[in-house]
Amino acid sequence: MTATDLSVTKQEADKLFQRKRLIGFGIPAVIFAYLVYIFFAFDISGLAGRANLDNAVTLASDSWSHKVHVTRDNRSGEITYAVEGERKGTYPEGQRPDWVSGDEVITIDLGGDHIVRYLPDNRTEIEVPGFPLIEVQAEGRSLTSNLPEDLPDWISASNRRIGITTPEGRITLTGARTEVFNYFPGWELFWFTLDSPYHGQSLGTILFGEQIDPTRSNIAGAISDWWNNAMWRHKDVAWAIGETILMAFLGTMGAAIIALPLAFMAAKRFSPVMMLRAATRRVFDFVRGVDALIWTVVLARAFGPGPLTGALAILITDTGTFGKIFSEALENVDQKQIEGVESTGPKPLQRYRFGVIPQVVPVLLAQILYFLESNTRSATIIGAITGGGIGLMLTQAIQTQKDWEEVAYYIVLIVVMVMFMDWFSGWLRGKLIGRKD
């Protein structure tokens, strides 16, 4: 190698080094610029300023706890006791929580020396440790109180509404009613409502104890009361889970059935007419290019809400996806197997049936079962739009802004459903294809 060649090689090496150096400096600069853009475009500083951790803590606690309402109607003087404030969770006549006492003066012991008293003439007294006694009088639609002008953060007050939030519970006062919320851990009345004879009974008593309800056996009666629980609606939830799975199953299997013959029309090896191939592929591009949620909105306007509309939305979108996947699988089949079948003199359909389908079945089944699992999750969101399945119940619970323990219940069920479908699809794939993941 001459000196000139060495000089050229050194120059090329220097240029390559400089290029790599520029790239090394350029990539971090681009990433930094992108992060700066995100900071301003998404208003990160504004989001941080609007964040309310107290609301987040309240929401999180509501997901694993329940509250008992003690409510006084300031017009009639009637006092009711209800779990989550629901009519279906109201204590029967003559019953009330053991932390409430008194007749003329109703004393509510929230714990930790936090006491609320419902006095005659719509008067209320509230004792909070370390704060002067709070006295409130409801008169018509307005409130009068002895609260000072400089209020702590845990008290909000006007002449129409007073809200007090303490570690032991919350108190809300308006001209129409006075309400105390006492919080407890757990999903209350999940098994039996207050009107069930099995409420408060232990599992051992139900299984092995004396007959509680003279008209039915303990086990049959307990299962019936749990299944027909009016607050947690276990029967409706089970039906909704079934609707969600059925929506995903019909949409996925229907798409696979439609896409398979169309895939032969889109595969070059089996469709020599270029115009037919191009038209079929453009159809696949169109139906899968529009998201299933968009198809859901369109079909809901056309056919009305319901689980079948959601299944059709999944079917349309997955037909395009399956068509592309299946056609690519058909392009890669082994020609020798097809020729071997042809040597026996079969008809064209038999040639495809015995020479092509067995080669692509593992790929087809794997994709179908994967999409079945994925569409089970998608059917939850689609159901919220079309008015079917567990997605609708989840949306309704979120919209109430009070039943967050039911939201947590539905989310747990959705996660369990997806885990089950994941296991089931893997097991079925192993059985059908002859191997496991």
Q: What is the DSSP string of 29-78?
A: HHHHHHHHHHHHHTTHHHHHHH--HHHHHHHHHHHHEEEEEEEEETTT--
- Cβ atoms of 269 and 328 within 8 Å: the answer is no
- CA angle (260 as vertex; 418, 304 as ends), nearest 5: 60
User: How far apart are the C-alpha atoms of 59 and 281, rounded to whole Å?
Assistant: 48
Query: Which range is least confidently modeled, 59-63, 213-217, 312-316, 351-355?
Result: 351-355
- The model's pLDDT over 92-127, given as tens digits with 9 standing for 90+, comes to 888 899 999 998 899 999 988 999 999 999 999 999
Q: Which tokens is 22 given?
A: 């520029």
Q: Cα–Cα distance between 307 and 246 in angstroms, integer?
A: 8
* 3-state SS assignment for residue 187: coil
pTM flag (> 0.85): no
Using CA atoms, how far apart are residues 223 and 229, in angstroms rounded to an integer? 10
Tens digits of per-residue pLDDT, 363-411?
888 888 888 888 888 888 888 887 788 988 888 888 876 678 888 999 9
pLDDT for 38: 76
The packing angle between helices 389-400 and 357-386, to 10°, is 30
Asked whether the beta carbons of 375 and 422 are under 8 A apart, the reply is no
Per-residue pLDDT at 22 exceeds 60: no
- pLDDT digits 0-9 by tens, 322-367: 998 888 888 877 666 666 666 666 666 666 666 677 777 788 888 8
- By DSSP bridging, strand 79-83 and strand 100-101 are unpaired
Q: Does 437 score more than 50 pLDDT?
A: no
